[in-house]
Amino acid sequence: MSPPPARKGLSLLGALAFSSPALPVGALAVALTVYLPHHYASRLGLELAVVGLAFTGVRLIDILFDPALGMVMDRGRGRFGRYRPWMIAGAPIFMLSAYQLFMAPVGVGPLYLVGWLLAFYIGYSILVLSHISWAALIAPSYHERSRIFGWIQIAGVTGASAVLLLPGVHAMGWFLVIIAPIGVALAVARTVEPPPASATAEQFGLKDYWTMMIRPDMRRIIAADFCLALGPGWMSALYLFYFQDARGFKLSQANLLLFIYVLAGLVGAAVLSRVATKLGKHRTLMLASTGYSLGLLSMTLLPKANLLVAAPCMFLMGFLATSFTLLDRAMVADVSDAVRLETGRQRIGVLYALITSTQKIAGALSIGLTYAVLSLIRYDAREGAVNTPQSIHGLELVYLTGPILFVMLGGACYIGYSLDAKRHAQIRAELDARDALIPEAGVLETLSNATGLPSTAIEPEPI
């Protein structure tokens, strides 16, 4: 029997619709990391250390949710698909908790912040994990994944750019509440989810989860993803403090520079996803991480409070940073094909749960560590406070050291990485040939009914 024809990639309109759930996720990346902690510390009156501890503690609790969620998703065999129902379920949780967090009144305490943060991250996990797992299914080839994840990144940058144009935290919250159901509806209505290769639910335990984690290719991706999330997250947590107190910019100017940084990701996602089809995903990431670190270092050499000089540097860093999430996620999809070839089982949800957990840990540490250090150097984050030169110098050191160190380490993780386009093409060819020999789900069910045997007993062994 000849292999089945390769699935065609999504059309332009199909890719735009499928990527639309990334709009609220991208907006969240800016609003939650840059503005919300700053809002709770400066406007709502919570202490820096308390805000940092709340964000860190909730993220560390929430990471336990992702592995279980990935396992349950990968076992799904519902009539509406494996990942589609989860995306629909995640939207209302995301919306309600976003409203409560961004509309919090003056006087709320740490428990309020912790409770709604936990709910928010659960909704976020469901939405993101179902979306990127689904993306890996509809884009089976090495280069098509660069394209689809490039569109997802473009949608995320668009959402982040849009939220920066809004006047304040409350408006940002309303944007998240309104755009989330629209994005999910577009993706669900326009995109078909391919059926699973096997008609039977797959069993998966903690031992299998550990096996996925310690694979050589996934070890590299996990380590790189952690560093490439922690570096920019570290910068985001301190951004407003640094650009106002250390670089001398007004709040409106700092917001404009951040808008330039985020907007550059639109160009970066389009360009770097194409570059990755020529150089390979891992080589593109290594180049981008080096350029990002050099750009951040050059910021210290620029004159203070000079918008025209700072803007090109911010554009360069935003252009390069967009590749970190885009290409890491596309590479996990490649690993999922290698896993299915070796084991005969689909593990997309579990593999993506590993890196979403990694990103949560990095996000928790980026806020928790930086805010704790600011407290130690006696930096006063309250609105209108005047800090000593020693505190400002400490702020500069903290702001630069973390991002440069971790981003360079993230790029270095891919030295010697071997799952490139050539190796992935071999994997896909073997998978397509094997899938052509596996009966369709309906045939398995018919044989099962006729013989009285469970469908697992008559399913062909992986070749």
Residue 3 counted as domain residue? no
Please, is 408 exposed, middle or buried when counting C-beta atoms within 10 Å of its C-beta (0-12, 13-18, 19+)? middle
Q: What is the pLDDT of residues 326-338, one digit of tens each?
A: 888 889 889 988 9
Among residues 324, 294, 317, the alpha carbon closest in space to that of 414 is found at 324
Whether the model clears a pTM of 0.75, i.e. scores above it, the answer is: no
Among residues 78, 50, 187, the alpha carbon closest in space to that of 128 is found at 187
Q: 6-15, 191-200, 317-326: lowest mean pLDDT where?
A: 191-200
Residue 279 counted as domain residue? yes
Residue 45 counted as domain residue? yes
Which residue stretches of 344-388 are H helix? 348-376
Distant-in-sequence, close-in-space partners of 8: CB < 8 Å, separation ≥ 6? none
Q: What is the pLDDT of residues 417-427, one digit of tens each?
A: 998 888 988 99
Residue 64 counted as domain residue? yes
Q: What is the pLDDT of residue 443?
A: 40
Distant-in-sequence, close-in-space partners of 371: CB < 8 Å, separation ≥ 6? 37, 41, 48, 49, 51, 52, 237
What's the number of domains the chain is made of?
Answer: 1
| 342/317 Cα distance (integer angstroms) | 39
231 and 283 in contact (C-beta within 8 Å)? no
List the domain range (segments joined by +) for residue 219: 14-193+202-426
98 and 119 in contact (C-beta within 8 Å)? no
Q: 52-66, 161-175, 278-292, 443-457: lowest mean pLDDT where?
A: 443-457
State which of 133-142, 202-211, 287-296, 433-442 shows the largest mean pLDDT. 287-296
pLDDT band at 176 (very low <50, low <70, confident <90, very high): very high
Q: What is the pLDDT of residues 363-416, one digit of tens each?
A: 778 877 888 888 788 887 776 778 888 888 888 888 888 899 999 999 999 999
Owner of token pair 């304040």:
168
Residue 359 counted as domain residue? yes
pLDDT band at 34 (very low <50, low <70, confident <90, very high): confident
Identify which has the larger pLDDT, 205 or 339.
Answer: 339
Residue 457 counted as domain residue? no
CATH number at residue 254: 1.20.1250.20
Q: What is the pLDDT of residue 177?
A: 93
Residue 321 counted as domain residue? yes
Q: What is the pLDDT of residue 409?
A: 95
Q: What is the pLDDT of residue 170?
A: 92
pLDDT band at 442 (very low <50, low <70, confident <90, very high): very low
Owner of token pair 């007004």:
250
Q: 153-157, 158-162, 344-348: lowest mean pLDDT where?
A: 344-348
Q: Is 34 helix (H, G, I), strand (E, B) or coil?
A: helix
Supply the mean pLDDT for the chain.
82
Q: What is the pLDDT of residues 70-111, one digit of tens each?
A: 777 777 666 677 788 888 999 999 999 999 999 998 888 889
Residue 27 counted as domain residue? yes
Q: What percent of the chain has pLDDT over 90?
A: 25
Distant-in-sequence, close-in-space partners of 170: CB < 8 Å, separation ≥ 6? 102, 103
